[in-house]
């Protein structure tokens, strides 16, 4: 009996374990997989921005709009066909007589009743075709302006692309520089905190002055403030990157650090060569020149309103007293019409004057764009020269900071300097190393700005 009870308990335990394992398996399958945050290197961030940034998508839509405008302009060269149905009911003798003749119902009695025809109705289904033969060159010049509009929209997309790549590059290096500043602040906090702890013990033992402890507390507060600013700088630069990539600010992603071997920024081209290159390949220059051509084409289109216009037309339909269709009552009309505005209340003159002003505005806009690009190239080249000079200075300062820390450390062991001086030397050494890396990032950002200024990423 006892053996049977033991077997039953074992069976129940095994059953419970089996049910628990099945439940855990189902729970594991039902649990959603934890999303892995995307990680972006600089090249990956640029590629992602080019495919996902809303500004580029807007530019692409504007190209589509320009292509549609070209289709609208070209439609003037095709025949226009219209279907139309008309109904008239009248006792006007002239209109009734016209209806009778058009309906092929004229006979001798029609003359007898011509003054008192009574009421008559007329159904007129018809198809009308019209073709513009000449409109003073307006259709041609409008189509040329529309074609140039596509080119201008494409140049504007190139402008957005050029600026976007530079912005992503600058934000990426700003993020890495902020990380370096944050690391220096944390190292400073750790070093100062350690020394502060030791100094408090020495103060209690009477071997350190109270002023040394207070100085270290001030240094610690300064380092903590710098750490807060650096941490905020990291978040700000990451938010900027997210916006450029077309991501929501709460979207989880990481920025991968640059490789241990950073590219070496340099500038081997003179300013005049850079300016000539910018004027050749900057899309803004090409877009401004294209808009001048568009304004000229629209001016010629408005001037075409002074010339006569010629249209060919054809109309096919039937006239009858009741709805329906009968080939015996169909009517065909074809012809050519020529018209010319003799006086339009000075509308044409004012429209031409407005087009002339727009053409002059486009020329001044082109000149302004060239001046702005010249200034941008000059500023970018000067900033790159400055950044390269800072790189050289910071690299030289690292050796000096290392040597200063070594000397201060020896003096500290000999108890000839205060602990505050030692902390200052250590923090200066860390900051010199960080400044070297930050200066390198700044130089890379300045190089990217110069590439944008000459239109390398169009």
Give 411-437 pLDDT, tens digit per residue.
877 767 766 677 778 777 877 887 888
Count of Cβ atoms closer than 10 Å to residue 458 Cβ = 17
Report whether 199 contacts 213 (CB < 8 A).
yes
Task: Give the whole-number percent of the chain exceeding pLDDT 70.
Answer: 90
Helical (H) or strand (E) element with 439: helix 419-454
- Could you please state the CATH topology (level 3) that the domain comprising 42-81+134-310+342-454 is classified under: Outer membrane efflux proteins (OEP) (1.20.1600)
pTM over 0.85: no
**Using CA atoms, how far apart are residues 311 and 254, in angstroms rounded to an integer?**
65
Q: What is the pLDDT of residue 71?
A: 94
**63 touches 150 (CB < 8 A):** yes
Q: Looking at residue 20, what is its pLDDT? A: 44
Q: Say if residues 76 and 142 touch (Cβ distance below 8 Å).
A: yes
Within 8 A by CB and 6+ apart from 372, the residues are 284
Task: Answer with the residue of higher pLDDT: 9 or 386.
Answer: 386
CB 316 within 8 A of CB 330: yes
Q: How far apart are CA 346 and CA 352, in angstroms?
A: 10
Return the CA Rg of the chain. 42
Look-up of token digits 């374990």: 17
- Bridge partners for 147 per DSSP: none
Domain ranges of the chain: 42-81+134-310+342-454
Mapped onto helix, strand or coil, the DSSP state of residue 309 is strand
Residue 324 exposed, middle or buried by CB count within 10 Å (0-12, 13-18, 19+): exposed
CB 450 within 8 A of CB 388: no
Average pLDDT, the chain: 85
- pLDDT top residue among 419 and 400: 400
Is 313 buried (19+), middle (13-18) or exposed (0-12) by CB count in 10 A? middle
Nearest partner of 331 among 77, 86, 158, judged by Cα: 86
Render the burial of 117-140: b for 16+ CB within 10 Å, e for the rest: beebebbbbbeeeebbeebbebbb
Tokens of 22: 């099945």
pLDDT digits (tens, 9 = 90+) for 66-120: 999 999 999 999 999 999 999 999 999 889 888 888 888 888 777 777 888 889 9
Phi and psi torsions of 150, nearest 5°: -65, -45
Q: What contacts 230, CB < 8 A, 6 or more positions away?
A: 178, 181, 182, 184, 185
What confidence tens digit (pLDDT) does each residue in 8-62 have? 444 444 444 444 455 444 444 444 444 467 889 989 999 999 999 999 999 999 9
Condensed to tens digits (0 to 9), the pLDDT of residues 180-221 reads 888 888 888 888 888 788 888 878 888 777 887 888 888 889
Residues 6+ away with beta carbon under 8 Å from 154: 63
Residue 23's DSSP bridge partners are: none
Which range has the worst mean pLDDT, 23-27, 101-105, 227-231, 290-294?
23-27
Considering only residues 16 and 401, tell me which one the structure prediction assigns the higher pLDDT.
401
Of 116-120, 324-328, 358-362, the poorest mean pLDDT is in: 324-328
Q: State the Cα–Cα distance between residues 23 and 29, nearest whole angstrom.
A: 10
Q: What percent of the chain has pLDDT over 90?
A: 50
> What does the pLDDT average to over 1-13?
43
């Amino acid at each position: 009996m006892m053996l049977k009870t033991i077997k039953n308990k074992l069976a129940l335990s095994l059953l419970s374990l089996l049910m628990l394992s099945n439940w855990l398996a189902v729970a594991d399958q039902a649990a959603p997989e934890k999303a892995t945050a995307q990680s972006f290197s600089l090249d990956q961030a640029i590629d992602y921005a080019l495919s996902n940034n809303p500004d580029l998508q807007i530019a692409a839509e504007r190209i589509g709009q320009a292509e549609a405008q070209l289709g609208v302009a070209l439609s003037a060269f095709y025949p226009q066909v219209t279907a139309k149905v008309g109904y008239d009911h009248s006792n006007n003798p002239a209109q009734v007589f016209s209806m009778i003749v058009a309906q092929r119902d004229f006979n001798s009695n029609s003359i007898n009743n011509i003054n008192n025809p009574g009421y008559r109705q007329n159904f007129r289904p018809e198809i009308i075709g019209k073709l513009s033969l000449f409109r003073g060159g307006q259709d041609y010049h409008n189509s040329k302006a529309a074609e140039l509009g596509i080119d201008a929209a494409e140049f504007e997309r190139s402008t957005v692309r050029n600026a976007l790549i530079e912005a992503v590059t600058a934000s990426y290096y700003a993020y890495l520089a902020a990380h370096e500043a944050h690391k220096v602040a944390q190292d400073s906090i750790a070093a100062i905190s350690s020394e502060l702890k030791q100094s408090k013990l020495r103060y209690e033992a009477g071997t350190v002055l109270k002023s040394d402890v207070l100085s270290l507390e001030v240094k610690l507060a300064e380092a903590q403030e710098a750490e807060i600013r650096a941490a905020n700088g990291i978040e700000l630069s990451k938010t900027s990157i997210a916006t450029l990539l077309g991501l929501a600010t709460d979207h989880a992603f990481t920025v991968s650090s640059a490789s241990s071997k950073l590219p070496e920024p340099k500038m081997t081209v003179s300013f005049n060569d850079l300016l000539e290159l910018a004027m050749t390949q900057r899309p803004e220059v090409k877009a401004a020149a294209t808009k001048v051509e568009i304004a000229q084409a629209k001016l010629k289109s408005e001037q075409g309103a002074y010339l006569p216009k010629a249209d060919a037309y054809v109309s096919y339909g039937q006239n009858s007293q009741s709805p329906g269709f009968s080939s015996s009552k169909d009517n065909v009309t074809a012809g050519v019409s020529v018209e010319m505005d003799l006086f339009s209340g000075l509308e044409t003159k004012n429209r031409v004057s407005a087009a002339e002003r727009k053409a002059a505005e486009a020329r001044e806009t082109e000149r302004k764009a060239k001046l702005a690009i010249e200034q941008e190239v000059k500023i970018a080249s000067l900033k790159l020269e400055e950044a390269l000079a800072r790189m050289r200075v910071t690299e030289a300062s690292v050796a000096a900071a290392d040597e200063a820390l070594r000397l201060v450390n020896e003096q500290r062991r000999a108890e000839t300097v205060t602990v505050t001086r030692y902390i200052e030397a250590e923090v200066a050494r860390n900051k010199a190393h960080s400044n070297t890396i930050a200066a390198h990032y700044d130089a890379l950002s300045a190089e990217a700005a110069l590439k944008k200024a000459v239109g390398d990423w169009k």
